[in-house]
A and B are shown apart, each in its own frame.
Chain A
């Protein structure tokens, strides 16, 4: 059936100009990138920061009460 073979003869219009095309792509990309960063900040960075802060505060309270830092196993960096 050459009906389908003829599809290859249908001319494809020229590629849109690079500048407006790229500008349009970046207009779509940047808001999504910003959203992705906000989500990452809210659900990954903030909980991590809170966790670290709470841990430090608990350690400080423990030190105030008992006079010793919490046991961290073989953590030689402290």
Chain B
């Protein structure tokens, strides 16, 4: 009986480059990585609507950048990096747009409700991790989420964020300390 061997990610990616259109190889890539890309997008975007939008955007970007994969890391890692970059860009754009759109009055309302939720959190002794993470720089937030929510190794994270493993370890350790201090402060207030 003839055994059918599935092509590796790298082989499929090379096939998609040769194909030059959104044909079978590209469709297979989308199918193969849909779940992984979805996880990254959901973690970084924080809600299903934005995550779906971002995941589709990742595959559109993948289509245009599919020739840029040079094999310096695994294809999966490279695609994760594309997904992270896309999500960061979308989050930055949305934050800027939201800031522009928010009127002073809406700001006031938001401040009042934030204050209320903060008080609530304090009274119940619950630390809002999401809120703490939102105070971080977008890239730092992504790094923390990929490390702790998705459990990626430092070596893989270093490739995704284009830095050395040592620098990555150091940055995460500092972020962790910063978040711990913030959480302690929030808890004691």
- Which A residues are closer than 8 A to B by beta carbons? 1, 3-8, 10, 12-13, 15-16, 18, 21-22, 24-26, 28-29, 32-33, 36
Within 8 Å CB of A32, what residues of B? 60, 64
Within 8 Å CB of A25, what residues of B? 30, 56, 59-60
CB atoms of B179 and A21 under 8 A apart: no
In the complex, B43 has a CB within 8 A of chain A: yes
Nearest-Cβ distance from residue B146 to partner chain A, whole angstroms: 10
CB atoms of B60 and A4 under 8 A apart: no
Interface residues of B in 84-136 (CB under 8 A from A): 127, 129, 132
Quick one: which of B34, B60, B63, B127 contacts A15, CB cutoff 8 A?
A: B34
Interface residues of B in 33-92 (CB under 8 A from A): 34-35, 38-39, 42-43, 48, 52, 55-57, 59-60, 63-64
Tell me the number of A-to-B contacts counted with CB atoms below 8 Å.
68
CB atoms of B31 and A18 under 8 A apart: yes
Whole-angstrom CA separation of A4 from B179 in the bound complex: 9
Given A12-B39, A32-B64, answer yes or no on A24-B56 (Cβ-Cβ < 8 Å): yes
Within 8 Å CB of B56, what residues of A? 21, 24-25, 28
Given A7-B145, A18-B31, answer yes or no on A24-B42 (Cβ-Cβ < 8 Å): no
Within 8 Å CB of B132, what residues of A? 3
User: What residue of chain B has the Cβ atom nearest to residue A9's Cβ?
Assistant: B149
Quick one: which of A4, A21, A36 contacts B55, CB cutoff 8 A?
A: A21
